């Protein structure tokens, strides 16, 4: 009986080995995803009075933008002026040099969330809608809660202007590229 037991054990072992061999004849896969919500916001805070320095306007840190955007193609920030880049006496629509103060706007550079520098366009008079930033996200990272300052500068001598209140309205816009 011991000879029979050994043969059955060897046959059982061979059967177990053959029955547990797995042959891969295909494959299986699992797809998964994540959805990231779109973010696009812009707010502006700042002073309504532009300081004077040496007889001209000099508005350092006049406005602070707070912007966030994660559009895959990036974004553009523009500015436009109700009076085409002039502070106008009492909202006058006259094109008289003694009732208008020309000015330019320029903004600071900042770092996006990927630590890439976002450079602004230079100082510009807002005679039409002007681009302040054009951020190409596919080259850099998204922007989340960046807070660059924008400044107002003028070389228009105030001593040549009529007395009164001069004003303009700047509209800042954030658009996806």
Q: What is the mean pLDDT of residues 62-67?
A: 93
Residue 102: pLDDT band with limits 50, 70, 90: very high
* Fold annotation for 40-176: Immunoglobulin-like (2.60.40)
So where are the chain's domains?
Answer: 40-176
Q: Report d(CA 144, CA 133) in Å as an integer.
A: 15
Q: In angstroms, what CA-CA distances link 165 with 40, 56, 100?
A: 35, 15, 10
Q: Report d(CA 27, CA 47) in Å as an integer.
A: 65
Which pLDDT value is given to residue 42?
95
Q: Is the pLDDT of residue 12 over 50?
A: no
Q: Report d(CA 144, CA 70) in Å as an integer.
A: 8
Residue 48: pLDDT band with limits 50, 70, 90: confident
Which pLDDT value is given to residue 138?
67
Tokens standing for residue 42: 């812009």
Please state the pTM of the whole predicted model. Answer: 0.76
């Amino acid at each position: 009986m011991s000879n029979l037991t050994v043969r059955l054990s060897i046959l059982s072992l061979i059967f177990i080995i053959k029955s547990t061999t797995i042959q891969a004849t295909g494959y299986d896969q699992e797809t998964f995803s994540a959805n990231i919500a779109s973010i696009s916001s812009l707010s502006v805070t700042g002073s309504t009075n532009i300081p004077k320095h040496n007889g001209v306007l000099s508005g350092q840190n006049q406005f602070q933008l707070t912007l966030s955007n994660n559009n895959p193609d990036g974004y553009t920030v523009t500015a436009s002026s109700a009076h085409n880049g002039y502070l106008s006496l009492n909202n006058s629509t006259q094109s008289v040099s003694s009732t208008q103060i020309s000015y330019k706007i320029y903004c600071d550079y900042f770092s996006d969330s990927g630590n890439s520098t976002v450079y602004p366009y230079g100082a510009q008079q807002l005679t039409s809608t002007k681009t302040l930033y054009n951020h190409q996200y596919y080259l850099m990272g998204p922007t989340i809660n960046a807070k660059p300052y924008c400044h107002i500068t003028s070389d228009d001598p105030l001593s040549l202007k009529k007395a009164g209140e001069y004003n303009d309205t700047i509209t800042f816009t954030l658009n996806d590229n």
